[in-house]
Amino acid sequence: MQAEIIKIESLKLIGIKTTLRARAGEPKNMSVIPALWAQLGSVIPKIGNRLNHKRYAIITGDLPDNEQGFCEYYALAAVSDYSNVPEELLKYEITEGKLVKFVHQGFPQTICVTAGKAFFEWLPTSGESIAKNAELFIYDEGYDRNNPDASFEYCLFLN
């Protein structure tokens, strides 16, 4: 599995979030994710200042070595600025920093394989450390979650 450390500039995102887990020890409710993307998909075409056609997801509070009771999922799109953001969408900004990027191929339900390799194989030997309890997923335009050959980027925020 190839890891690529990249610098990221500030990225302004807008979207919708939901709670996947409200208390420690509960399983995550991943079944709500497709509906969240459908909801965002109905609003995004109205956004005139969208930067690209990628889709971004962030999961907070769920890193393997630091699982928290509260876990949220954000479905997001990049914009050039926060003007004219519809009321139903939230703002989420990724500040300038460093990421490690892995490419995950396969169904999104199998991301635990890529994440496990990132945390338990790559991270201990990399000399790097995690900056925040969040995972970033980047989906190119046309990504099909039902295609076993589809791929997306899985990123972790580094110090």
The DSSP-derived string for 61-123 is: S--TTS--S-EEEEEEEEES-STT--TT-EEEEEPSEEEEEEEEES-GGGHHHHHHHIIIIIH
Model pLDDT for residues 40-74, shown as the tens digit of each residue: 999 988 888 999 999 999 999 876 656 667 789 99
Please tell me the CATH superfamily of domain 4-158, with its number: Regulatory factor, effector binding domain (3.20.80.10)
Give the closest residue to 157 by CA, choosing from 138, 127, 134: 134
In this prediction the pTM is 0.92
**Residue ranges per domain, the chain?**
4-158
Positions in the chain short of pLDDT 70: 63-68
146: burial class by Cβ within 10 Å (0-12, 13-18, 19+)?
exposed
